[in-house]
Homo-oligomer: A and B are copies of this chain.
Amino acid sequence: MAGRSVGETGEFEVIGAITAGLPTSAAVRVGPGDDCAVFSVDGDVAVSTDTMVENVHFRRNWSGPNDVGRKAVASAVADVEAMGARPVGLVMALTVPSELEAAWVSEFSFGVREECANAGVLLLGGDLSRGRDITATATVFGDLQGRSPVTRAGARAGDVLAVCGRLGWAAAGLTVLNRGFRSPRAVVVAHRVPEPPYGQGVVAQQAGASAMIDCSDGLLADLGHLARASGVAIDVDTSTLDVAEPQSVVAAAVGGSDPLTFILTGGDDHALLATFAASDVPDGWRVIGSVSHGEPAVTVDGAAWDGDAVGWRHF
């Protein structure tokens, strides 16, 4: 398909190149190419759907097609992890302009496959449509394997709040890109491809997590969702939050702002946030706050956060 556009190549050749030699498993009864994919599950099914739109969620001059494919998978899989389910399958609906080079779609699909492999998820099928902007909607299914889902609504006074994964890296990267720079590279890469802590959703469920959410809109925003769903107050202890060196570099470069702003309000890293009885926190999770009775709200070191915010607003 070298050098040709999607329109010149044709839908069926593009789809054939995307789906050739896809990995499969015994749980997949019917793979891509029929009216539906068919897969088997051991318990209840968790499902989430998530859209990324060109020039809203990503820019083609900031992220390569491989990055976009990986991010579309990672951000959707994180929602399944956040229910305590094992992610098993994914369908990808992709809309592209007819004049887009077919190579962009191939590289996007390599990214999708790569991140599906990282996440332990099988690409089951998809849809290819024409549109002005590149739009990717990933729908992911998780298998609860007979276990109960972990919702946002179960946090109890006395629980601790713990995190697994990075906070505020993608936001620092976006800040860098917005100012026309490409370094520190570590945070730019974090903006392009998040690294959700795959497998830790099941770990948290099995450890007895009382509530869980993935951090997509920003720590305070997502804890707000959890606090309201559970009817509890949550306090974040900033002495437990480590500012990483590249975050300090970016904060200094943008005029000495507080690097905690990235950590408290930056979204898109897809860390997992969960509440546990203090004795239940599993290895690899870090306690960063506490849950108490009170008006559903989130405080920082006991007070309302009145700093800036860099978190995600959809509209």
Q: Which residues of A contact B (CB under 8 A)?
A: 6-7, 10-11, 29-30, 33-41, 43-53, 56-57, 79-80, 82-83, 85, 89, 91-93, 95, 98, 124-133, 135, 137, 139, 141-142, 144, 149, 151-153, 212-214, 229, 313-315
**CB of A154 to closest CB in B, whole Å:** 11
Residues of B within 8 A of A92 (CB): 49
Name which residue of chain B comes closest to A148, CB basis. B29
**How many copies of the shown chain assemble into the complex?**
2
4 shortest interchain CB distances as A-B pairs: A36-B46, A35-B82, A53-B131, A137-B137
Complex alpha-carbon distance, A38 and B44, angstroms: 6
> Which of B34, B137, B313 is within 8 Å of A49, CB to CB?
B137
| Contact indicator B38/A125 (Cβ below 8 Å) | no
Residues of B within 8 A of A30 (CB): 46, 83, 149, 151
| Further pairs besides A37-B47, A38-B149, A132-B132: 10, Cβ < 8 Å | A11-B314, A29-B44, A29-B149, A34-B83, A34-B151, A36-B82, A38-B45, A49-B93, A53-B131, A139-B139
Residues of B within 8 A of A144 (CB): 38
Residues of B within 8 A of A91 (CB): 47-49, 139
